[in-house]
Amino acid sequence: MSLGDALDWPNTDDGFLPLFVHHAAATPDRAFARFGQRPLTFGQLDWSSTGLALWLRDKGVQPSDRVALMLRNGETALTMMLAIARAGAIWVPVNTQAVGDNLAYVLGHAEPRLVIADPDLLPAVSACGANLGSPAISSAGILDQAQAARPDPLLRSSTGALLRSSTGALLRRAP
């Protein structure tokens, strides 16, 4: 028997999302991360990332699309990474120090459906000359925007991973 079996953890062959959802359901008030003195709980991150996944879908992101994030470490970046996984998309991390040809190369080769950047980094994205399908989106207020996109009670990823409905019910993929 493995440690995972002994602790009743879900199989992680499908990635980290089922494990995260399992922990969010079991211990929603447990701190997942701390930003300064403020904890971000599993439950808060679960709720916010689901809203952002719906927001991404509203923005046209489909499973296997790439979403580039040019965000400094923090709650928004963490929530966006999880939301991208929930939407079935692929996270493209972009160095926040990248500019010019270096940034154009990364964005040009990644061909992201969306680029989301910290507000002060948007000029670097615009100036780099990358041929993007749509303008980069500011991360300012993105967590609030995501909550407005949250009325859909069900979001299933392309892999059918475990997800939580807005009512709190734990959803499992069909066999």
pLDDT of residue 166: 42
| Number of domains, the chain | 1
Structural domain that includes position 69:
3-150
State the CATH number of the domain containing residue 35: 3.40.50.980
Q: What's the pLDDT tens digit per position in 26-51?
A: 999 999 999 989 999 999 999 999 99
Q: What's the pLDDT tens digit per position in 52-111?
A: 999 999 999 999 999 999 999 999 999 999 999 999 999 999 999 999 999 999 999 999
Average pLDDT over residues 148-159: 51
Question: CB of 166 within 8 A of CB of 150?
Answer: yes
- Asked whether residue 63 is domain-assigned, the answer is yes
Per DSSP, which regions of the chain are E strands?
A: 31-35, 38-41, 66-70, 90-93, 114-117, 137-138, 163-164, 170-171
Residues facing 115 on adjacent strands: 68
